[in-house]
């Protein structure tokens, strides 16, 4: 009789023990899965290295790039025939002109943006053939993954590249989200100037809405347009202050 009395108690004890062990295994499995999901999420969000394997880092709202500090396809030539340039010299397009079709001789500059906002773009360039400043003076520019990319004048006039889905578009050449970027004047010294819209010059702006890696793309348009440097700076920074800091070139960091 005493054995029969203890039998239900023993069965209940074994059931509780097994259930507790199974629960512990299940909780451990869930915790392990949560850890794996977190790692995958972090890896995906942290994978910001572009295919080219490097980035140019923005610092305090300024990006200053030595233009030749990249890999260039055939048609671009490194030149060092003038003293008034920085670094190893400047890059000049010596292939066929690509006046109506952007994308020829494309070069990508990946930018790591940590300070978000609206930036103004300019570059230091020159026309390297002839004496007419309206020839050999322009190159295509695009920011394909930025929040916005436009030209603006001091009077508030704004233009957008053709193909962006926005209007109005600038006078002259524009296509597939690209602006024709030109400099003016018959003095062929290298100068800081970048405008779009023929005979109605608009300065160049780009909006980076969130931190991350963005592409600055350049492609050939006029032959013998030489480019020495590029500069982006937040619109709350004056151009003089940005130029004063432009000699501190942005870090080009390997990220593979």
- The 10s digit of each residue's pLDDT in 91-142 is 999 999 999 999 999 999 999 999 999 999 999 999 999 999 999 999 999 9
- Is the pLDDT at 176 greater than 60? The verdict is yes
pLDDT band at 29 (very low <50, low <70, confident <90, very high): very low
Write down the pLDDT at residue 125: 98
- The predicted pLDDT at position 8 comes to 44
pLDDT band at 3 (very low <50, low <70, confident <90, very high): very low
Which residues neighbour 121 within 8 Å (Cβ) at sequence distance 6 or greater? 141, 194, 204, 205, 206, 230, 231, 232
Q: What is the pLDDT of residue 256?
A: 74
**Model confidence at 1: pLDDT above 70:** no
- Please measure the distance between the N-terminal and C-terminal CA atoms of the chain and give it in whole angstroms: 76
Instruction: Return the C-alpha torsion angle 187, 193, 199, 204, nearest 10.
Output: 170
d(CA 65, CA 43): 29
Decide: residue 175, CB within 10 A, 0-12 exposed, 13-18 middle, 19+ buried: middle
pLDDT value of position 246: 86
The fold for domain 54-254 equals Jelly Rolls (2.60.120)
Predicted TM-score (pTM) of the model is 0.81
Q: What is the Cα–Cα distance from 253 to 256, expressed in whole angstroms? A: 9
Residue 4 has pLDDT above 60, yes or no: no
pLDDT reported for residue 15: 39
- How far from 143 is each of 47, 90, 106, 211, CA to CA, in Å? 20, 22, 12, 15
Instruction: pLDDT band for 51, please (50, 70, 90 cuts).
Output: confident
Give the per-residue pLDDT at 17. Answer: 45
Residue 27 has pLDDT above 70, yes or no: no
Name the residue with tokens 């990508």.
108
* Distances in whole angstroms, Cα of residue 200 to Cα of each of 10, 143, 168, 177, 242: 93, 22, 13, 19, 25
Token readout for 81 is: 């025939």
**Cβ contact 67:121 at 8 Å:** no
């Amino acid at each position: 009789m005493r054995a029969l009395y203890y039998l239900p108690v023993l069965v209940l004890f074994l059931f509780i023990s097994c259930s507790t062990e199974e629960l512990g295994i299940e909780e451990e499995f869930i915790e392990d899965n949560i850890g794996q999901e977190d790692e995958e999420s972090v890896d995906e969000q942290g994978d910001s290295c572009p295919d080219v394997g490097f980035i140019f880092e923005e610092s305090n709202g300024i990006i200053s790039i030595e233009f030749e500090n990249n890999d260039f396809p055939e048609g671009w030539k490194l030149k060092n025939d003038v003293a008034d340039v920085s670094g190893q010299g400047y890059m000049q397009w010596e292939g066929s002109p690509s006046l109506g079709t952007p994308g020829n001789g494309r070069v990508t500059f990946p930018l790591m943006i940590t300070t978000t906002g609206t930036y103004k773009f300019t570059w230091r360039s020159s026309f390297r053939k002839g004496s007419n400043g309206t020839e050999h003076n322009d190159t295509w520019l695009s920011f394909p993954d930025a929040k916005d990319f436009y030209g603006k004048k001091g009077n508030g006039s704004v233009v957008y590249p053709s193909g962006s889905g926005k209007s109005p578009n600038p006078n002259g050449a524009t296509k597939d989200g690209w602006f024709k970027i030109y400099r003016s004047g018959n003095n062929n010294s290298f100068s800081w100037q970048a405008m779009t819209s023929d005979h109605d010059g608009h300065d160049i702006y780009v909006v980076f809405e969130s931190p991350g890696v963005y592409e600055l793309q350049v492609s050939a348009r006029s032959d013998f347009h030489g480019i020495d440097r590029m500069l982006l700076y937040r619109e709350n920074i004056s151009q003089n202050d940005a130029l004063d800091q432009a000699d501190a070139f942005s870090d080009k960091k390997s990220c593979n």
